[in-house]
Structure 1
């Protein structure tokens, strides 16, 4: 019985966190500018359907400082973005 309760508790927690915890939507983009000091990337990207945004060029903050070091201007990337604390944020880069 305790195992069943623990399993349901884990499931409830996972559902409370949201669907993005299970599958992130990756889109193609091109890094236009890297601003390491401000921890921001300017990316020309395909539509971000999870954010209901058309294709455009825009500035994103990054979720982790190390992401800035992974990219350079002119580089093609696949990335995931979401709203984090009210800001549109790059949450992962492939």
Structure 2
């Protein structure tokens, strides 16, 4: 009987420690990530790959990660550019970091840099 209680007690304690450890690690997180993903933080740039540069329409097609400031998931889409000179900075196949914002009912790239 003592052996059963001892085994049960050991299992019970081990399960409790495992749950406590899992709960503690789930509650711990890096607060700096909140600042980096803040929707209104103008310093946070999205990343993506240029699929197409269309100078005739003034648009870049980018396969991008999440656009946290716009609440958009990762996808491929065409964006207008605020400054047509941005189209000369990149070419299809390059990786970029950028910021897109809503302006006059459209999504416009307001900041663009080639990833290194």
Instruction: Indicate the residue corresponding to 1:39 in structure 2.
Output: 58
Instruction: Indicate the residue corresponding to 2:87 in structure 1.
Output: 68
Displacement of 1:25 in angstroms is 2.6
Q: CA RMSD in A?
A: 1.6
Instruction: Indicate the residue corresponding to 1:30 in structure 2.
Output: 49
Cα distance in 2 for partners of 1:23, 1:59 equals 21
Can you list the C-alpha shifts for 1:30-60, whole angstroms capped at 9, x where unaligned?
A: 0000100100000000000111100000010
Q: Which runs of no fewer than 5 residues in structure 2 stay unpaired?
A: 1-38
Cα distance in 2 for partners of 1:57, 1:42 equals 7
Report the TM-score when normalising by structure 1: 0.74
Report the TM-score when normalising by structure 2: 0.61
Alignment of 1:74-89 (within 5 A): 74-89=93-108
Displacement of 1:85 in angstroms is 1.1
Displacement of 1:86 in angstroms is 1.2
More strand by share: 1
Which of the two has higher C-alpha Rg?
Answer: 2
Displacement of 1:24 in angstroms is 3.7
